[in-house]
């Protein structure tokens, strides 16, 4: 009898435009998947360390972070932290030191594969690895895209975010060519959506038409609850579990699992 070996889904959450809810999406999706009894590792690749802070961990008080994985060859298993509030949710945290990792990585041979190699010893501990990429297309984002098998694109439904999707897809094509030929774009998550405006709806429709990308789950509507949650060190699902935003991310988690790794 043949047995199927479970393989973790490694997903980079990326958009070169800042302020489109990448970190919110990683945190809420990670929490929602953990609620569904999935083992999840969130990786904070942003020197601003917003995911780390939002998960209730002070970036300034860390003894070690993903910077040490990149620069000092620390082991992910020694640096990762358990996120309070739900079983099965871990974080590979960031700190401001990560800003210096970019310069260090530029001098290294095989710099694009550093994160991928570092994750290998722990990837079998998880069902899903979510990588929060910084709002740029530099070497940290390239590491995230090289380590991943899929890309999820948070899309704020406005013209500038729309433009960033096209630039990101060009970068993904480059990564496929030189480092990761099997990388697939899973689709977009529509964030900060305002259904009252024709503009929001038009941008969302145009992304599908122009780029052929699926929309994963329902649009996530604007809410003050999303601004409140990080200050509490919680995801939107912990902070306001019955809110429309929390329900949207639970539905996105369900839709994510239904995709089973299919992408463009």
Q: Per the domain annotation, does 263 fall within a domain?
A: no
Q: Per the domain annotation, does 100 fall within a domain?
A: yes
Q: Per the domain annotation, does 152 fall within a domain?
A: yes
Q: Per the domain annotation, does 132 fall within a domain?
A: yes
Length of the chain measured in residues: 264
Q: Which has the closest alpha carbon to 17: 248, 171, 129, 147?
A: 171
Query: How many C-alpha atoms does 46 have within 13 Å on its Cβ side?
Result: 27
Q: How far is CA 233 from the centre of its chain?
A: 18
Q: Which has the closest alpha carbon to 30: 74, 89, 71, 78?
A: 89
Please answer whether residues 145 and 132 qualify as being in contact, where contact means their C-beta atoms are separated by less than 8 angstroms: no
Model pLDDT for residues 198-212, shown as the tens digit of each residue: 777 777 777 777 788
pLDDT of the residue at 18: 82
pLDDT of the residue at 3: 32
What are the residue ranges in the chain where pLDDT is below 50? 1-5
Other C-beta atoms closer than 10 Å to the C-beta of 190 total: 28
**Domain around 72:** 9-258
d(CA 78, CA 80): 6
d(CA 131, CA 137): 14
How many domains does the chain divide into?
1
Q: Per the domain annotation, does 128 fall within a domain?
A: yes
Q: Per the domain annotation, does 47 fall within a domain?
A: yes
Q: Per the domain annotation, does 1 fall within a domain?
A: no
CATH value at residue 160: 3.40.50.300
């Amino acid at each position: 009898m043949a047995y199927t070996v479970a393989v973790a889904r490694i997903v980079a959450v990326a958009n070169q435009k800042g302020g489109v809810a990448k970190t919110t999406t990683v945190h809420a999706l990670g929490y929602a998947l953990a609620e569904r009894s999935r083992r999840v590792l969130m990786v904070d690749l942003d020197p601003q360390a917003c995911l780390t802070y939002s998960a209730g961990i002070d970036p300034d008080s860390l003894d070690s972070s993903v910077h040490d994985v990149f620069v000092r060859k620390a082991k992910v298993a020694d640096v990762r932290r358990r996120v309070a509030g739900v079983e099965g949710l871990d974080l590979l945290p960031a700190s401001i030191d990560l800003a210096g990792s970019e310069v260090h990585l530029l001098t290294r041979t095989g710099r694009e594969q550093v994160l991928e190699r570092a994750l290998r010893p722990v990837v079998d501990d998880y069902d899903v690895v979510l990588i929060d990429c910084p709002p740029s297309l530099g070497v940290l984002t390239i590491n995230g895209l090289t380590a991943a098998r899929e890309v999820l694109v948070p899309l704020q439904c406005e013209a500038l975010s729309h433009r960033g999707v096209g630039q990101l897809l060009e970068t993904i094509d480059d990564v496929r060519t030189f480092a990761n030929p099997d990388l697939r774009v899973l689709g977009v998550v529509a964030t900060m959506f305002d259904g009252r405006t024709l503009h929001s709806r038009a941008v969302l429709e145009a992304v599908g038409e122009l780029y052929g990308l699926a929309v994963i789950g329902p649009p996530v509507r604007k809410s003050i609850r999303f601004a409140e949650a990080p200050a509490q060190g919680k995801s939107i699902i912990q902070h306001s579990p019955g809110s429309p935003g929390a329900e949207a991310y639970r539905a996105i988690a369900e839709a994510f699992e239904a995709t089973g790794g299919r992408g463009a």
